Chains A and B, each alone.
Chain A
């Protein structure tokens, strides 16, 4: 072993080992050096530059120290550990920055007015996203009403009935469908409406259609998995009692999996509620509340955020504030749906005896 070459230590057990605090000492030292270089040579201390420079110094230093004391293989292992940990920390940067910006810029307008006012007759300060919230409620609600039956029944087909080429084909194309770019779904809804109802037909229902294209495969995937988990013993016990297959599915299989299905549906709503591009194309923009999904444009929350950012009036600050507040609302909404879905999945999941 390579340790033999470097061993001059009295204790054979810890020979060639670096103490546990080495990493932290090396890290602190690297950051200190980086900070000094940054402040003196690069003109002014900056936390970002220092962190980057510190990492650049730390990685080879840690490697070399380990190389000298522990040998090549252990040094490579240490380098890999540092890199892998670094990758995780690196991914946290955009997340933290994004959450921080959204909170700090969104909170000033995250008030009651945001939820009780629309943008009708509002110029400059004030106004809110009530119209967009209703729109999101309608559009997402209708999309859910379309997607859940189709998705659920397809999952039932795949699990309970499907066999052969058709089932394989459906499984394959459901997977492919999950990859449809959201904007293509929007274009589809627009094209459908243009052909059926004449060009330029833009309304909430078209938005729902676009979202359904995106949502159906997600629902199929989520529910199919859960139906497969339902133990076969339950089905067989039911058949043994002479219950027909469809009654078995509706009164044994589905109730067993219901919590998972509900949570799966909620999670898939969370996936599509933030879609912007398809709604921009299919559901359009408006400043007023529209409660009729079948006529006239309907505003939705993501489109509201984009609209406030991209089409500001004279006092941009108010529009930017509303955009960030809308973004904050959207993130909160998605997180609440995610947590609710996970909560239902955990709290009400069937006890499978494990």
Chain B
């Protein structure tokens, strides 16, 4: 009696669960293209920098739409995780906010590559890092390198500090404390930003560039780009740094380079890469760069992310897929797509050609 009464709702739930056959309006019904991809050749796994995750999503979406049957998974788990996964052969390509260092390179060190193959560092993603702020009544802020370094090092603590007033004579700067927000997690953004501070204001910013923000300098820590942007935009009298593309709704400060005041624009960012030299002593097609942050007209706080691939893959089908996908990523249309979707700075035509040549050399 009781069971039969109870049976009705239970059966209803069971029926509801059964009718939910797994499909979504935007996913192909063919199970072969799901994440449970059957053939290894049609699935590519990538892992790495979260900074280019929006761009990767766009590239993957475009590439998958053009090549049905191919599934690419990019997990934005961080550069370090990406490099390790690539070295151990767990993924076929990695995204990284810095190239492999010399001691990490070496033929035969990479499980997914052939024994005599080294890795290739290919710059594919350039993003300006904006200094973002939220101060009541202030829309425009001009900061020189020493001031930026002082603010984030905790030596400049008030918005009406002389150093800030000096470069912003017209702004109504409040007599309020500065809350400087930085990343709590390891990130390439922090690495590139502290590298800029160390290069441009070594007297104030004594610490070398590093993935973790130096604990000695204090300030407020927030996890991930979005938390930094959130903390700055919802807080009051705050300042922080984040990829410019992820911080569109917050005001960006202008940074001083030489006599110029530069906004974090794509063009100004791309100039850094053009003015930079490749690291010497590597193979012909390796494009690891030493960034030159003092070039004229170049926005100095720039993040360059690399695609890490093998010179030669053990599996030829994987090699073909990597060539095809990374080739698209570095192409003019791929770079343009990322610029629209992720707000990155497209590689210059010259750099595109170099990357294309490197991709063509993958075996």
Contact = CB atoms under 8 A, between A and B. Distances in A.
Interface of A: 113, 116-118, 120-124, 127-128, 130-131, 134, 137, 141, 200, 255, 258-259, 262, 284-292, 295-297, 309-316, 340, 344, 348, 350
A257 to B, nearest CB: 10
A116 B10 contact: no
A127 B90 CA distance: 29
Given A200-B90, A258-B2, A312-B226, A118 B27 contact: yes
B229 A313 contact: no
B36 A314 contact: no
A310 B223 CA distance: 9
A287 B5 CA distance: 40
Given A118-B26, A262-B6, A312-B226, 8 more contacts: A113-B25, A127-B26, A134-B20, A255-B3, A258-B6, A290-B35, A311-B224, A344-B6
Contact of A262 (B10, B35, B57, B65): B10
Interface residues of B, number: 45
Instruction: Choose among B3, B23, B26, B223 the residue with the greatest number of A CB atoms under 10 Å from its CB.
Output: B26
B6 A348 contact: yes
Interface stretch (B95-103, B115-123, B244-252, B314-322): B244-252
Contacts of B26: 117-118, 120-122, 127
B53 interface: yes
Nearest to A347: B5
B14 to A, nearest CB: 11
Nearest to B50: A311
Contacts of B295: none
Contacts of B17: 137, 141
A348 B5 contact: yes
Interface string B51-68: 001100110110011000
Given A310-B224, A311-B226, A122 B24 contact: no
15 contacts: A121-B64, A123-B57, A123-B61, A130-B25, A262-B10, A288-B27, A288-B34, A289-B22, A289-B23, A310-B224, A311-B53, A311-B226, A314-B54, A316-B229, A344-B9
Contacts of B48: none
Interface in B51-99: 53-54, 57-58, 60-61, 64-65, 71, 73, 75-76, 85, 90
B172 to A, nearest CB: 18
A292 B3 contact: no
Interface of B: 2-3, 5-6, 9-10, 17, 20, 22-27, 31, 34-36, 50, 53-54, 57-58, 60-61, 64-65, 71, 73, 75-76, 85, 90, 223-224, 226-227, 229, 245-246, 248-249, 341-343
A258 B3 contact: yes
Nearest to B245: A314
Contacts, number: 113
Contacts of A117: 24-26
Contacts of A128: 24
B61 to A, nearest CB: 4
A121 B248 contact: no
Question: Which 3 A-B pairs rank lowest in CB-CB distance, beginning with the nearest?
Answer: A121-B61, A130-B24, A313-B54
Contact of A310 (B227, B248, B249): B227
